[in-house]
Amino acid sequence: MATKTSRDVLGRGIRVLGRAIREEPRIFTVAVAGSVLFGLLIIANAYVVGAVVGKVVVPAFARGRADTGLVALAAAALLAVSVLRVVGIVGRRLGAGYMQYRLQAAYRRRVTRRYLELPLSWHHRHATGTLLSNANSDVEAAWFPIAPLPFAVGTLVMLVAAIGSLLATDWVFALVGLTIFPALFALNVVYSRRMAPRQARAQRMRAEVSAIAHESFDGALVVKTMGREAQETARFAARAAELRDALISVGRLRGLFDPMLETLPSIGTLAVLVVGAVRLREGAITITELVSVAFLFTVLAFPVRAVGWVLAELPRSVAGWDRLQDVLTATGEMPYGDTALDPDRRGPAELVLDGVTFGYPSAADEAVPVLRDVSFRVPAGRTVALVGPTGSGKSTIASLTARLVDPDHGTIALDGIDLRSLTAGSLAGNIALVAQVPFVFDDTVRANITLDRPGITDRDVWAALRLAEAAGFVEALPDGLDTMVGERGTSLSGGQRQRLTLARALAGRPRLLVLDDATSAVDPRVEAAILAALRGGRDGGPDAVTPDGGPTGPAASILVVAYRRATIALADEVVYVEQGRVIARGTHQTLLATTPGYADLVTAYEKAEAERDRRHEEEAEVAVQ
């Protein structure tokens, strides 16, 4: 079974190498040409050394003086071989390096592009640490054998040429070669087979350690506030110890086989000298031939190791390649349509959800519906509040309206066009979703708002900031729009981060704005002011005034997941959901009167808010005293 697995790994590893060669055929050819040149020159060098000893050194001893012309010729020959060998090494190394790093770069790009193509549901099932490991160590592992590959190919050519030259020299030497070379090969194969499971385990452990480290650092706040440092450290230490053990077992095997691989060619040299002495006495060979062949065996050990390096890295390469393929061949992406909305068409858009049913794919591959037959409409220019108990499906509806996921049944349409038919540009240009947890890049305020989208001027940025009630605090920052906000916006408060991400959405002048509890960390009065401004279109930006100077209406239709009575009361209509179904729709007042569940929920929100306000006031009083 183990043998079969190793054979599988060998076959699959060779296929991965074949893939690499197909991707970079020219560079591979250059590297192999360099390596073959190097290999042939190793043999040539051995024969030149033999000739120098046999034809220059020995006669010089015999005569008691050296022939200057011959010495100069010998030196020139040795120098020429060395220079050509350097050319071979440079060609091989440059080629191998280029090939390895170009492949790594190409696959890093492919993997990250694929991450972005895959739907959110796929990301929910894969840990961020594992994804980082895929893009880093798996890509490196997959192409690791590329570095010694040209060397190994050149070595194979060299071995064939070496056997040929041995045969031409003396059949007894050829016999020694035919014994030692296959033995070296066999040892390398056994080595790589033993290495296979150890390398695969180490690679797996690397990914696990990376995943745990990422989770611990990401959840540092929870870990610290819950006093879980010791347990987290122990969890990490346990996996790190497993990785250490896996690597030690790799090292141990290396320690056992490396000396054997070094020794075998030396045994060959010894055998050549013993049988060579006999053959020399018999007059079957010359001293030149004996020295050449003995020298050849001493310099063979190193290049033959290249074959071992490739074989030893194959298991790790296959493990890395398999993990890359899991990402590259993952399915479930949501192709964009080809209907583009007119980019010049501004003003609010209409959103219609019709009979939408949706379930998150579970581990059992059986999607349990979290939304059932959801239908409602956000008329152009209107504000609709989505209200419901926790887990009722509000965020899921928000994700569907921004096409982060697609419904299993039913349709969602913007201005009458199914979201699935729209191009990526039309979706991003017309709909903006602002999530509850804001994401801020480690960049300037300006870059965080424009996100390199064309056509957003500083004037637009300030207009968006004013609309999001963020202009005040940005003006107070030391470098204004050029202020760096730190990783994930750590230099800003939660409410400031939320307003910054809201401004980012507004700067793109969306025609539908979906706020998924996007202002929860903002003071209620500020939240009400933001919503009132969004509804009124008073932003001082390009939409503030109509061409004839008259007052404007709202720039966007708004769907807002709301938890505060003041926010809910501002909406034109409320959609009340429970357990993934729309229970009631109407104005806030109507629902209060007709829907007991809604009245209870809003009353509970109100009580919680009053309690929070009371606590804040008490804290303020204590602070004054």
Ligand X SMILES: Nc1ncnc2c1ncn2[C@@H]1O[C@H](COP(=O)(O)OP(=O)(O)OP(=O)(O)O)[C@@H](O)[C@H]1O
Contacting residues for 65 by C-beta, under 8 A, at least 6 apart = none
Nearest Cα neighbor of 51 from 74, 84, 76 is: 74
Rounded to 5 degrees, φ, ψ at 422 are: -80, 150
Residue 6 interacts with ligand X (CB under 6 A): yes or no: no
Query: Which positions from 116 through 155 interact with ligand X, judged by CB under 6 A?
Result: 124
**Residue 392 touching ligand X (CB under 6 A):** yes
CA–CA distance, 184 with 156 (Å, rounded to integer): 12
Least distance in angstroms from the C-beta of 122 to ligand X = 11
> Of 249 and 395, which has the nearer Cβ to ligand X?
395
* Number of residues in contact with ligand X under rule CB under 6 A: 11
Distance, in Å, from the CA atom of 481 to the CA atom of 472, rounded to the nearest integer, reads 12
Among positions 101, 336, 360, 473, the unique one binding ligand X when judged by CB under 6 A: 360
Over the Cα atoms of the chain, what is R_g?
A: 36
**CB of residue 390 vs ligand X: minimum separation in angstroms?**
4
Calculate the alpha carbon distances from 346 to 342, 380, 403, 421, 422 in Å: 9, 11, 20, 19, 16
Q: Is 395 in the site for ligand X (CB under 6 A)?
A: yes
Amino acid in the structure at residue 18? G
In this chain, which of 50, 148, 150, 388 binds ligand X, going by CB under 6 A?
388
Phi/psi-derived region of residue 561, left when phi > 0, alpha when psi is between -120 and 50, beta in every other case: beta
Shortest distance, position 570 Cβ to ligand X, whole Å: 19
Nearer to ligand X, 353 or 481 (CB): 353
Name residues contacting ligand X, limited to 63-102 (CB under 6 A). Answer: none
List all residues 6 or more positions away from 430 whose beta carbon is below 8 Å from its beta carbon: 341, 349, 414, 422, 510, 511, 512
Sign of CA dihedral 266, 268, 269, 270: positive
Choices 4-12, 213-221, 386-394, 497-505; region in contact with ligand X by CB under 6 A: 386-394
List the x/- string, 26-65, binding to ligand X by CB under 6 A: ----------------------------------------
Q: Does 567 bind ligand X (CB under 6 A)?
A: no
Residues 203-262 that bind ligand X (CB under 6 A): none
User: Which of 571, 568, 575, 540 is closest to 558 using CA atoms?
Assistant: 571
- Which CB atom, from 261 or from 405, has the smaller least distance to ligand X? 405
Other Cβ atoms closer than 10 A to 514 = 27
- Name the minimum Å distance from CB 563 to ligand X: 8
CB-neighbour burial class of residue 571 (10 A; exposed 0-12, middle 13-18, buried 19+): buried
The answer to whether residue 370 forms part of the interface with ligand X (CB under 6 A) is: yes
User: Nearer to ligand X by C-beta: 60 or 370?
Assistant: 370
Query: Is the Cβ–Cβ distance between 261 and 305 less than 8 Å?
Result: yes
Query: Tokens in use for 574?
Result: 């409320």
The sign of the CA dihedral 384, 390, 396, 398 is positive
* Cβ atoms of 251 and 199 closer than 8 Å: no
Nearest-approach distance from CB 394 to ligand X, in angstroms? 4
Measured CA to CA, the distance from residue 183 to residue 311 in angstroms comes to 15
153 or 387: CB nearest ligand X: 387
Least separation in angstroms between residue 396's CB and ligand X is: 3
- For ligand X, which is the closer residue by CB, 315 or 388? 388
DSSP state of 135: I
Our CB check for ligand X shows the closer of 203 and 392 to be 392
Q: Which is nearer to ligand X, 101 or 605 (CB)?
A: 605
Per CB under 6 A, the list member of 3, 68, 225, 390 interacting with ligand X is 390
CA–CA dist 384, 376 (Å, integer) = 10
Per CB under 6 A, the list member of 6, 396, 401, 519 interacting with ligand X is 396
**332 binds ligand X, rule: CB under 6 A:** no
Q: Which residue stretch of 89-97, 133-141, 392-400, 418-426 sits at the interface with ligand X (rule: CB under 6 A)?
A: 392-400
| 579 is a site residue for ligand X (CB under 6 A) | no
Q: Report the nearest approach of ligand X to the CB of residue 405 (Å).
A: 9
Cβ 483 to ligand X shortest distance, Å: 31
The torsion defined by the Cα of 219, 223, 226 and 228, in degrees rounded to 10, comes to 150
- Residue closer to ligand X by CB (options 93, 565) is 565
134 DSSP assignment: I
Which of 126, 194 has the CB closer to ligand X?
Answer: 126
Among 198, 394, 403, 564, binds ligand X (CB under 6 A): 394
10 Å CB burial of residue 306 (0-12, 13-18, 19+) is buried
Closest contact distance (angstroms) between CB of 433 and ligand X is 13
Which residues contact ligand X by CB under 6 A? 124, 360, 370, 388, 390-396
